[in-house]
Chains A and B, each alone.
Chain A
Amino acid sequence: MRFSIIVFPGSNCDHDCEYAIRQVLKNPVEMIWHKNTDLKNPDCVVIPGGFSYGDYLRTGAIARFSPIMESIFNFANKGGLVIGICNGFQILCEAQFLPGVLLKNKNLRFVCRNTYVRVDEVDTPFTNQCKNSSVLSMPIAHGEGNFFIDEEGLKKLEDQHQIIMRYCNSKGQITDESNPNGSLKNIAGICNQARNIFGLMPHPERVCEKELGGIDGQLIWQSISNS
């Protein structure tokens, strides 16, 4: 499985993703500067977390106009896999690769801490190694992760099984207390209708080694490798 990680000015989880994919999971990785247009023939494109363009104006708003975005659009249209993590998710929403928006956290503060998410859809290229309704422990670190979509959009997401993971407590219950940012329906990650583009706020790359407190993030990368 060949991965290409897109580096925007202000990306800062690019090296973390590279380390997890290359050093821990032993997959080949290319780093792609946003001004380029060649994706270097990947099987999966990773849009990493960070603060592309400083998150100025709106998160992801400026990055969507980078030259590389058109290549990603064409790649995804042909069925290529795209995963956007944190700021990557925000960029995918701004670029309308995914529906909805990520608003400021309900308490208006940046929050960095561990969360639990329940995997509600395992029939995707990104979660096929997870058991249905399994609970993963993954950290979040964002100021704007409060997912919002209108009623009609939400219904569509639900009907087409696009809500892949939701914030929950350690027992897998979806509760208000376990919602760290005010996301609608505790949504933590969604995919597009074709199921080849996935955006999520938690950071799987941060929990791929025991020393860092957990390895649940490996399941995401392994799922991609197996698809």
Chain B
Amino acid sequence: MSDDTLTIAGRSFGSRLIMGTGGAPSLEVLEQALRLSGTELTTVAMRRINPAARGSVLEVLQRNNIAVLPNTAGCFTAGEAVLTARLAREALGTNWVKLEVVADERTLLPDPIELLDAAETLVDDGFVVLPYTNDDPVLARKLEDVGCAAVMPLGSPIGSGLGIRNPHNFQLIVERAQVPVVLDAGAGTASDAALAMELGCAAVMLATAVTRAQHPALMAEAMRHAVEAGRLAHRAGRIPRRFHAEASSPMAGRAELDPEAPAF
């Protein structure tokens, strides 16, 4: 719905699906998936330039009018992440950064101490900081307190496709946050994205679920619909869960019938 835009740091987006670009088998497949996802904001990583590389992910984003969101993937310390963010700002002309500071390669879980340190430094340096964080309500609050423009808790480890392992924590984060809460990592299929939105997330960020699906373009389209459906359901207000059935048809006014007739 056009009147239900996602707003981060004063900037509005018609789509609530933030895409990543990692994992796609080719730029052609990626471009088709990005188009069908409807995304308006998409992440890239910063790496050493390869003179032999053909094509550029930046060109794909530019010609599809998708805003670029550099990340700090691969950083293990606050220092590495801050320098990577500054290089991205210089290279791409944006002060937005998806801040990732992970603890180890096996889990790729955020290192909360380094993350908070980097977030504070980058906010002070004028960045719009979108941190990839644990699904920890306390850490989410602290990231917001140091000035992050959104918080992006993980549903489950990056690339795992395990969905949202702790929906209750998401509810706790959403309940208190004054900035947008974005599911980041863990979505495996459309229902995961829909659930995130139903829980009150402002947006969903994903890459692997689409780029490594058997049919990336189809999954991109599925994710777009899932995010929209989940958002609508959240706004609509779901019914409370009940242990027992509750009839929706009235009992009053039923016909008086002989339960034994007609005989079958």
A, B bound: no
Q: Which residues of A contact B (CB under 8 A)?
A: none
